[in-house]
Amino acid sequence: MEATQKRSPLEEVRRFAGTRRGAITIAAGAAALAGIVLLTFISQYKQSVQNGTLQHPALVADRLIPKGTSGSVIVTGGFFKPASVQQDSLQTGALTSATALAGKVATHDVYPGEQLTTADFASGADPLRGQLAGDQRAINIPIDSAHGLAGAVRAGDKVDVLAGFNAANSASGRGRPELRTLAENLLVLKAPAVGNTQNGNASQNLTIRASGDLAAQLAFASDNGKIWFVLRPPAGATNTRPSSVTLDSLLSGAPTITVGP
């Protein structure tokens, strides 16, 4: 009589799985295991929420953001960095995208490590500081209605600047009038209100954005000569070669003298 050959445990499992009862048992076991895994995940998630360990994206200041800094300067200057913040540390209105800074200005100082929130920024909160960056400066130039286009120029316009002087000749003592192009394509940050331009002789201020060096030249020209502001087209304006006009060139009909590069 032949000895009965014993099946291996693996063969027994395969044989059992091939039966209808085995298939049902295995399917039920897999479903139970999946349920246990899901319940474990939900439990861990709830625990992480309760403990404040759930992470959320946020923007955090990487350096001091002074009051009045525009959103465009903050983005281009890299004043912040993305971070993950625990839920219990997440500030109300925390910003998660730099697009939220478009057209906004910081309403107060934001210090390194602080989260950027909607309460830190507002639209047009500081129309002057929000448009200055790097070597740009804002300078007030006293004007009258004729020289400063009072009542015609508005904030956001672009202007050219002409400076006129009547320097005395050291040899003859006679005056030597001269007018030259001092700057082109400068942004007007603030202009006198239309209602304040009725008295043409009253001195008012035109606020211009200029580099630090040019601001010093504008101040000197305003104190020692006369400044004219020339309005540029709102679109498609082209620069002309800066020129210098003297009394001799004007009377003789000679072309104006081009200056600069």
How far from each other are the two terminal CA atoms of the chain, in whole angstroms? 116
Which range is least confidently modeled, 38-52, 55-69, 234-248? 38-52
Q: Which two tokens mark 165?
A: 């002087």
Tell me if the domain spanning 55-123 has CATH number 3.90.1210.10.
yes
Q: Is residue 229 within 8 Å of 164, Cβ to Cβ? A: no
SS3 174: coil
pTM of the model: 0.57
Q: What is the mean pLDDT of the chain?
A: 78
CA 51 – CA 38 distance, rounded (Å)? 20
- The whole-number pLDDT of residue 160 equals 92
Percentage of the chain beyond pLDDT 90 is 21
- For 89-98, write each residue's pLDDT tens digit: 889 999 988 8
Please give the pLDDT value at position 109.
92
C-beta of residue 189 within 8 angstroms of C-beta of residue 209: yes
| Most confident region among 158-172, 195-209, 243-257 by mean pLDDT | 158-172
Q: How confident is the model at residue 202 (pLDDT cuts 50, 70, 90)?
A: low
The residue count of the chain comes to 261
The SS3 assignment for 109 reads: coil
Tens-place pLDDT, residues 208-246: 999 999 999 999 999 988 889 989 988 888 877 777 877
Residue 1 clears pLDDT 50, i.e. is over it: no
- What residues does CATH 3.90.1210.10 cover in the chain? 55-123
* Residue partners of 238: CB distance under 8 A and separation at least 6: none
pLDDT tier, 129 (very low <50, low <70, confident <90, very high otherwise):
confident
Nearest in space to 138 (alpha carbons), one of 193, 76, 191: 191
Which pLDDT does position 60 carry in this prediction?
93
